[in-house]
Structure 1
Amino acid sequence: MIYIYNDFGGTHTTALAAAYHLKKLDGSHEPTKNEILNTHNFNKLVYKDRGKLYFHGKDEDDNKVYTMGRGRSKILVPGVFNLIDMLIEEAVLNEKIILSNTSPTVPFAMTCGGMLSRWLKIDFIGVPLLVTGAKQAYQDIINLVQHTKQTAKSSTSQLIMLDNKEFK
């Protein structure tokens, strides 16, 4: 099985979701600043990285976990979905794939922090806002990851796209 967490930049909630999914972050407590900032790809990706899949590791069930930023595109994720669907229909791909949108977990502080840090390069203001946002969102991200894993395990579909709007 392959999990692909996606959002606007692919560098904040997706990175945290992958870390919680892989148990690289402990979900039993709010993450520390250090834990957040040391999460793989957290606040590291830039505009040119959008649309790329980033491998984060394999979970306890040997499933692969990836992240992807989609930018403003409304067609990237549906396009990826359609490509995967075609590969499944052509019997080129036989793995179950779950695309899970982490955007609904993004709090206002993280939106502002991402804009300041990634777009305007004002890290001394942006990074503290990102850390605050990550702390505010951690339980929602954990719940989203649990929902994603549960849906993947209980669904008979080989390809699943979760918009996760219930996490707003």
Structure 2
Amino acid sequence: MIYIYNDFGGTHTTALAAAYHLKKLNETHEPSKNEILNTHNFNKLVYKDRGKFYFHGKDEDGNKVYTMGRGRSKILVPGIFNLIDMLIEEATLDEKIILSNTSPTVPFSMTCGGMLSRWLKIDFIGVPLLVVGAKQAYQDIINLVHHTKQVAKNSNSQLIMLDNKDFK
């Protein structure tokens, strides 16, 4: 099975979701500033990285976990979904794939911090806002990861796209 967490930039909630999924971040407490900033790819990706898949590791069941930023595109994730669906129909791909949108977990402070840090390069303001946002959102991100895993486990579909808009 392959999990692909996606959002606008692919560098904040997706990175945290992958870390929680892989148990690299402890679910029992709010993450520290150091834990957040040392999460793989957290606040590291830039505009040209959108649309790329980033491998974060394999979970306890051997499932691969990836992240991706989609930018403003409304067609990237559906396009990927359709490509995967075609590969399944052609019997070229036999792996179960779950695309899970982490955007509903993004608090306003993280949106502002991401814009300031990634777009405007004002890290001294943006990064603290990102840390505040990550701390605000950590339980929502954990819940989204659990929801994603549960849907994947209980579904007979080989391809699942979760927009998670009604998640909260």
Q: TM-score, normalised by structure 1?
A: 0.99
Query: Are 1:36 and 2:11 an aligned pair?
Result: no
Give 1:132 deviation, angstroms.
0.1
Give 1:165 deviation, angstroms.
1.1
**SS of equivalent to 1:26:** coil
Query: Partners in 2 of 1:28 and 1:94 — Cα distance?
Result: 35
CA-to-aligned-CA distance 1:22-67 (integer Å, 9 cap, x gap)? 0000010000000000000000000000000000000000000000
CA-to-aligned-CA distance 1:76-106 (integer Å, 9 cap, x gap)? 0000000000000000000000000000000
Identity over aligned residues, as a percent? 90
**SS of equivalent to 1:100:** strand
Give 1:167 deviation, angstroms.
3.0
Give 1:166 deviation, angstroms.
2.1
Equivalent pairs, count? 168
Runs of 4+ aligned residues of structure 1 deviating over 2 Å after TM superposition are none
CA-to-aligned-CA distance 1:95-127 (integer Å, 9 cap, x gap)? 000000000000000000000000000000000
**SS of equivalent to 2:87:** helix
Q: TM-score, normalised by structure 2?
A: 0.99
Structure 2 portions without partners, runs of 5+: none
Query: Are 1:47 and 2:47 an aligned pair?
Result: yes
Query: Partners in 2 of 1:79 and 1:28 — Cα distance?
Result: 36
Give 1:8 deviation, angstroms.
0.0
Query: Partners in 2 of 1:50 and 1:114 — Cα distance?
Result: 14
Query: Partners in 2 of 1:50 and 1:71 — Cα distance?
Result: 6
Query: Partners in 1 of 2:128 and 2:167 — Cα distance?
Result: 23
Structure 1 portions without partners, runs of 5+: none
